[in-house]
Amino acid sequence: MTPYDDTPAQAAAPLIDGFGRTVRYLRVSVTDRCDLRCVYCMAEHMTFLPKAQVLTLEELDRIASAFVSLGTRKLRLTGGEPLVRKGVMGLVRGLSRHLASGALDELTLTTNGTQLGAFAGELADAGVRRINVSLDTLKPDLFRQLTRGGDLGKVLAGVAAAQAAGLAVKINAVALRDANAAEIPDLIRWAHGQGCDMTLIETMPMGEVDVDRTDEFLSLKDVRRELESFWTLEDIPLTTGGPARYVRVAETGGRLGFITPLSHNFCDTCNRVRLTCTGTLHTCLGREDATDLRAVLRAGASDAELADAIRAAVLAKPQGHDFRIVPRGASVSRHMSTTGG
């Protein structure tokens, strides 16, 4: 890897879209690959991208750092599974210079947890303070089925390793009508018992998978109503500028978030954009809008030209998403593993 430029990010005018929203949060998918094959996320036999199409670690750093210089305060690495990307810790350590300079408030990641046993300590050393771990069930057989072969024990050990390293862990679970609906209260109790926040996510119709999404979709409105039949959920004004709405569960003392892209419209306060591992910038998770920043980089763009391309893309951020549940298909053709969840 080439040495990183450690000059402090220049203060530039923030990224503002055409509807007056300031973009301060970038999610970066560092790979489309994964060591699991969750049924709602990937097809069983995925064709992964050829290496030449995937941004190098240096290119990922350059684009992420351009966003930081344009006022991005929060970076989240995701994927695919970010911790299976070879050399990813070099990227994390490189990006952590923006934490040290004060240009960035937070560097974090979303992971399936399988590799945390190996990486938790290094992540903490690099300045990562919080991570999201995706976990939909505590039943080993169901976990193996939902992830097509995953080992629940590894994830639980990963969560423990992260906590031992001092990382705050938030558990994310996708709510699935048949698979885990009945287990959701137990998952919440477990997460809160571990001192973790928990967020429930509605399935989003992204990418062709092998299952019928109309069968899987579970409205979080219904989940919330069910939880309220035996728990007290107190609204808390924790707003991340994102799609999650939070409550405190009085009985467990823990925080619970609901991400409801389909039954609730969160677009008017959206402050985030997403970069795929191929360098495509999506300014809305639920639209087909796309700007090819890899082409800009590989054409030899200067930092100013790269910043201009980013500004133009953000200016065109759509006002809102367009998700619809489509049986077996998808209203947005790319997979979550490509876009980064």
**Residue 172 binds ligand SAM, judged by CB under 6 A:** yes
**Which stretch, 12-20, 33-41, 153-161, 204-212, contacts ligand SF4 (CB under 6 A)?**
33-41
The single residue among 31, 65, 78, 180 that binds ligand SAM, judged by CB under 6 A, is: 78
Distance CA 34, CA 254 (A): 30
Distance CA 205, CA 331 (A): 6
Least distance (Å) between residue 53 CB and ligand SAM = 18
Got the DSSP string for 62-116?
A: HHHHHHHHTT--EEEEESS-GGGSTTHHHHHHHHTHHHHHTS-SEEEEEE-STTH
Interface of this chain with ligand SAM, residues 16 to 45, rule: CB under 6 A: 34, 40-41
The single residue among 68, 76, 80, 246 that binds ligand SF4, judged by CB under 6 A, is: 80
| Nearest partner of 120 among 167, 169, 80, judged by Cα | 167
* Interface characters, 98-127, with ligand SAM (x: CB under 6 A): ------------xxx---------------
**Residue 112 binds ligand SF4, judged by CB under 6 A:** yes
**Which stretch, 17-25, 77-85, 92-100, 302-310, contacts ligand SF4 (CB under 6 A)?**
77-85
The single residue among 243, 286, 318, 341 that binds ligand SAM, judged by CB under 6 A, is: 341
How many residues are there in the chain? 341
56, 297 Cβ separation under 8 angstroms = no
The single residue among 38, 77, 91, 201 that binds ligand SF4, judged by CB under 6 A, is: 38
**Residue 216 binds ligand SF4, judged by CB under 6 A:** no
**φ/ψ (deg, to 5) at 92:** -60, -50
**Residue 337 binds ligand SF4, judged by CB under 6 A:** yes
Distance CA 336, CA 100 (A): 31
The single residue among 9, 28, 34, 169 that binds ligand SF4, judged by CB under 6 A, is: 34
Q: Which does 37 bind (CB under 5 to 8 A by kind): ligand SF4, ligand SAM, none?
A: ligand SF4
Question: In the numeric block, which tokens belong to residue 176?
Answer: 């699935």
**Residue 291 binds ligand SAM, judged by CB under 6 A:** no
- Helices 57-69 & 303-315 angle (0-180, nearest 10): 70
The single residue among 15, 26, 36, 60 that binds ligand SF4, judged by CB under 6 A, is: 36
Q: What is the dihedral of CA 289, 294, 296, 301, to 10 degrees?
A: 150
Question: In the numeric block, which tokens belong to residue 267?
Answer: 């677009």
Q: Which is nearer to ligand SF4, 15 or 138 (CB)?
A: 138
Which residue's entry shows tokens 């090819």?
292
Q: What residues make contact with ligand SAM under the rule CB under 6 A?
A: 34, 40-41, 78-79, 81, 110-112, 134, 172, 174, 201, 203-204, 206, 336-337, 341
